[in-house]
């Protein structure tokens, strides 16, 4: 700090040139010696020493000598009893006296200039305006030559107005070892304080502006204004598939509202056209580098409600997405479904595409969300209820795509990484979504269980009664299902899939016949929410199955589908077709129908 003070003083003197006395010519004896000592008046109590008693003090002058400048003067009222001194050593040592303004205070300093380079401070005359007005007097004629120095500030400079009178203060100036001068510390501290306050004010101002901008955008996003644009940080987020990179396709379709369910259900999911992916070759799940994506998705419209939570149509990165919000009591279901979707090799065109899962706090409670693609046509149940009629080709295409998705879930892919086999455990028309192009995808894996042939374990251990009661297989209703056998769980899925096939055939138009109004299986015998006991009586004791319409048997295509359907709802689970066999049968029917020149032409469609 002392070196910094000396540097500041040198610059100040060179710019203002305030000098009272030109440097004296050293005596011959001093010139001959390389090092000369000079005793100077000092007022720094930390670095100065009291004057020895054996040293005499020069008398006070009575007049101003001719070599004094008009801006300097001599003081005669010096208290020599408490005098402090310092010793300057060097080839040309000097004593100095300095006076400068710090606000309304006048600071007077006395000390030594020991180093030869510091002598430059004493060269020149008073000139210019400095940021800190000051006056300087130097001498080297004799010991204590600066004892009676009293520098005067240039004309026109006076302390700033203040309620208190100006105060004369001494500062920390001299060091008898280094002889450095430190001045202007008060102004430096003031400048630092002003800069700090200014920077803090700018930061607070920018923070407040950013807060109000973010708050306004979020309010607009929630209200659906401004085209429903959401608050996103797309530059901070990226879509990364696990494994290889898959192709991405964008499809734009209109929104169709979905009616509420009439019976307890596992919530159907809907997916966004703008984020539809092809299956690729083991591309895996697209994982998002998440930065609280749940807070970046705008909830635009509620489209469904079920036992696990609610489904909303939302917007993320200017694309429609489906946001499944789980109830706080269904954390286990959210965790199970999220972990299944996040597995490698879960990408398939006939399985609902997963985007992200997240947990966010809403202030009063914790919200668990699952974000998937949004399909505006809704579930197969809603599609069949609203669709006037289906052609035979459309019917086969819908069933074939659903069978492909179910077969993909039931199949284990061995390798590193691999995919475990999955049993859905809640197959129904409400959990199968209709995509654009007349194809389906399997959704809602909240009740699914995983099976790996490596350890032979089913994860998690499934309960006996689980799913939608209307679609329960006979072995579930009579409690004969072996939950430790994974094949038994997939056979129960095939029974439920047979009921979905029956629902789809109701809306199929065949030659010389009209489609049958859509209804749920066993709707003529069971209410909207049947009990397990009632379904057990209908399915197990009375061995009832949905009615097969006679006109379905008039076409070789539809009769082949009916034959496949009846084999899948057999009472004995081991007699049912597997998902791979159903997929092959429907694929052959679809290829045969596509090769036909006329949609109503008869062809051999034996399975």
> What angle separates helix 579-595 from helix 486-506, to the nearest 10 degrees?
30
Do residues 90 and 115 touch, judged by C-beta distance below 8 A?
Answer: yes
256 Cβ neighbours under 8 A, 6+ residues apart: 376, 377, 378, 382, 386
CA distances, 77 to each of 69, 134, 147, 150 (Å): 20, 22, 10, 10
d(CA 259, CA 594): 34
Q: Which residues of 190-225 are buried (b: 16+ CB within 10 A; e: fewer)?
A: eeeeeeeeeeeeeeeeeeeeeeeeeeeeeebbeeee
Task: Please list the alpha-helical segments (H only) found in 84-140.
Answer: none
Our CA dihedral for 583, 506, 261, 299, rounded to 10 degrees, sits at: 60
407: tokens are 């077969």
Q: SS3 of 228, please?
A: helix
Do residues 197 and 189 touch, judged by C-beta distance below 8 A?
Answer: no
Do residues 578 and 493 touch, judged by C-beta distance below 8 A?
Answer: no
Residue that the structure tokens 């809403």 belong to = 362
E strand or H helix at 404, and its extent?
A: helix 392-410
In this structure, the number of other CB atoms found within 10 A of the CB of residue 598 comes to 6
Q: From the candidates 175, 176, 320, 426, which is the catalytic residue? A: 426
Give which of 308, 214, 223 is closest to 265, Cα–Cα: 308
d(CA 115, CA 507): 106
Active site (annotated) includes residue 426: yes
Would the annotation count 324 as a binding residue?
A: yes
266 Cβ neighbours under 8 A, 6+ residues apart: 306, 307, 308, 426, 430, 431, 444, 446, 447, 467, 468
Do residues 593 and 557 touch, judged by C-beta distance below 8 A?
Answer: yes
Task: Please list the alpha-helical segments (H only) found in 414-538.
Answer: 474-477, 486-506, 532-536
At residue 220, φ and ψ (nearest 5 deg) are -65, -35
Binding residue numbers: 324
List residues with catalytic annotation. 426
Binding site per annotation, positions for ATP: 324
């Amino acid at each position: 700090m002392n070196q910094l003070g000396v540097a500041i003083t040198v610059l100040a003197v060179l710019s203002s040139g305030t000098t009272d006395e030109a440097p004296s010519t050293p005596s011959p004896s001093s010139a001959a010696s390389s090092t000369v000592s000079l005793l100077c008046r000092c007022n720094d109590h930390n670095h100065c020493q009291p004057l020895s008693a054996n040293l005499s003090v020069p008398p006070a002058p009575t007049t101003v000598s001719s070599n004094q400048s008009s801006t300097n003067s001599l003081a005669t009222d010096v208290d020599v009893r408490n005098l402090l001194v310092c010793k300057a050593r060097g080839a040309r040592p000097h004593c100095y006296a300095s006076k400068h303004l710090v606000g309304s205070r006048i600071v007077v300093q006395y000390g030594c200039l020991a180093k030869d380079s510091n002598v430059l401070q004493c060269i020149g005359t008073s000139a210019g305006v400095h940021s800190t007005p000051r006056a300087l007097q130097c001498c080297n004629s004799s010991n204590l030559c600066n004892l009676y120095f009293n520098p005067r500030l240039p004309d026109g400079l006076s302390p700033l107005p203040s309620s208190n009178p100006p105060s004369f203060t001494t500062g920390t100036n001299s060091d008898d070892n280094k002889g450095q001068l430190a001045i202007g510390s008060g102004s430096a501290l003031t400048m630092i304080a002003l800069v700090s306050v200014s920077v803090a004010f700018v930061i607070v101002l920018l923070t407040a502006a950013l807060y109000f901008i973010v708050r306004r955008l979020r309010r607009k996003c929630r209200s659906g204004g401004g085209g429903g644009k959401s608050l996103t940080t797309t530059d901070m987020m990226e879509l990364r598939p696990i494994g290889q990179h898959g192709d991405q396709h964008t499809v734009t379709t209109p929104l169709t509202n979905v009616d509420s369910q009439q019976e307890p259900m596992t919530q159907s999911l809907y997916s966004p056209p703008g984020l539809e992916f092809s299956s690729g070759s083991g591309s895996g799940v697209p994982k998002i580098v998440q930065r609280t994506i749940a807070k970046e998705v705008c909830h635009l419209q509620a489209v469904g409600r079920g036992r696990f939570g609610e489904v909303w149509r939302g917007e993320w990165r200017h694309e429609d997405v489906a946001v499944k919000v789980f109830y706080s009591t269904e954390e286990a279901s959210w965790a199970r479904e999220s972990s299944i979707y996040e597995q490698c090799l879960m990408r398939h065109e006939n399985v609902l595409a997963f985007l992200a899962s997240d947990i966010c706090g809403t202030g009063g409670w914790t919200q668990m969300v699952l974000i998937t693609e949004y399909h505006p046509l809704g579930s197969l149940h809603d599609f069949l209820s609203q669709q006037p009629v289906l052609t035979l080709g459309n019917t086969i295409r819908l069933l074939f795509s659903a069978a492909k998705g179910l077969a993909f879930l039931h199949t284990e892919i061995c390798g590193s990484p691999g995919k475990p086999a999955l049993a859905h455990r809640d197959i129904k028309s409400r959990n199968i979504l209709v995509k654009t192009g007349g194809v389906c995808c399997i959704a809602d894996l909240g009740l699914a269980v995983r099976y790996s042939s490596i350890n032979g374990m089913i994860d998690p251990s499934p309960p006996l009664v689980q799913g939608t009661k209307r679609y329960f297989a006979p072995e579930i209703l009579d409690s004969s299902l072996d939950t430790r056998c994974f094949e038994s769980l997939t056979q129960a899925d095939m029974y439920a899939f047979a009921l979905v096939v029956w629902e789809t055939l109701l809306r199929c138009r065949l030659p010389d016949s009209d489609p049958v109004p859509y209804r749920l299986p066993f709707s003529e015998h069971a209410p909207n929410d049947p009990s397990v006991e009632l379904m057990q009586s209908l399915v197990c004791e009375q061995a009832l199955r949905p009615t097969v319409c006679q006109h379905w048997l008039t076409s070789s295509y539809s009769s082949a589908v009916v034959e496949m359907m009846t084999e899948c709802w057999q009472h004995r689970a081991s007699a049912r077709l597997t998902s791979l066999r159903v997929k092959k049968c429907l694929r052959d029917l679809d290829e045969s129908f596509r090769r036909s020149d006329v949609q109503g032409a008869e062809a051999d469609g034996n399975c």
